[in-house]
Amino acid sequence: MIPLTDVSRRPVSFPIATLSIIIVNFVVFVLELINGDAFVAKWSLVPADISAGHNLITILTAMFMHASWAHILGNMVFLWAFGPAIEGSMGRWRYVIFYLLGGVAAMGAQVAFDPHSTVPNLGASGAIAAVMGAFLVTFPRDQIRTILVIFIFIRIAYIPAVLLIGIWFLLQLWSAGTIAPHESTGVAYLAHVGGFMFGAVFARLFERQDRS
């Protein structure tokens, strides 16, 4: 399932914060392509370093980095599907702070799970998971235009947010419990879970007081 957009509401104003975050992610990805592995090694998060109190800035920088075109495109599609509505409910600056804190919470969950790992972690998916958690508690009944891929068949469907996001989260929990403890797959499932839980718990705290 690939979410495209929320068809139940339109943003009150243009989602400039969400678009800006997407642009920053692509700019950083271009820098990765230009500067190569040395750039990725310097700015991605290594849990063992964080546990030792080193390279703490990578808690922030790693959430704007990606491992491939598929990685960044997939993440940005998800962010554009859910981000604008949450930006509208929080206001631009609260939303940006929420996004960053969600990413920090996600990275923290991954480090806590495997504090001695030397495998670099990078990607915006933890912060985006926080946005999805916020969307679930804020707009659970909204219909999400979604691309469904079933074997060789592709169709557009309208799926309630509570179902689409709920299935996604259950898959992350299952993967974290069955895959993550045994092997490194390159996917930080615990970061997804940590970010999502942060978003679901703290979304209401960040909402605009004047939101109707």
Task: Give 71-111 pLDDT, tens digit per residue.
Answer: 999 999 999 999 999 999 999 999 999 999 999 999 999 99
**E strand or H helix at 4, and its extent?**
strand 2-6
CATH superfamily, domain 2-206, is Rhomboid-like (1.20.1540.10)
What tokens were used for 81?
């599907």
Task: Give 3-40 pLDDT, tens digit per residue.
Answer: 999 999 887 789 999 999 999 999 999 999 999 999 99
Angstrom distance (rounded) from CA 44 to CA 207: 31
Nearest to 95 by CA among 83, 111, 109: 83
What tokens were used for 11?
């943003």
Task: Give 43-60 pLDDT, tens digit per residue.
Answer: 999 999 999 999 999 999
At 185, the pLDDT band (50, 70, 90 cuts) reads very low
Instruction: State residue 12's pLDDT score.
Output: 78
Whether residue 46 contacts residue 119, with contact meaning beta carbons closer than 8 Å, is answered with yes
Task: Give 112-121 pLDDT, tens digit per residue.
Answer: 988 998 888 9
Q: Residue 210 in 3-state DSSP? A: coil
Q: How many other CB atoms are there within 10 angstroms of residue 17's CB atom?
A: 21
Q: What is the mean pLDDT of residues 182-206?
A: 82
Residue 144, phi then psi, degrees to nearest 5? -110, 120
Q: How many other CB atoms are there within 10 angstroms of residue 174's CB atom?
A: 11
- Examine the pLDDT at 149 and tell me if it is beyond 80: yes
Strands (E), 40-176: 143-150, 153-160
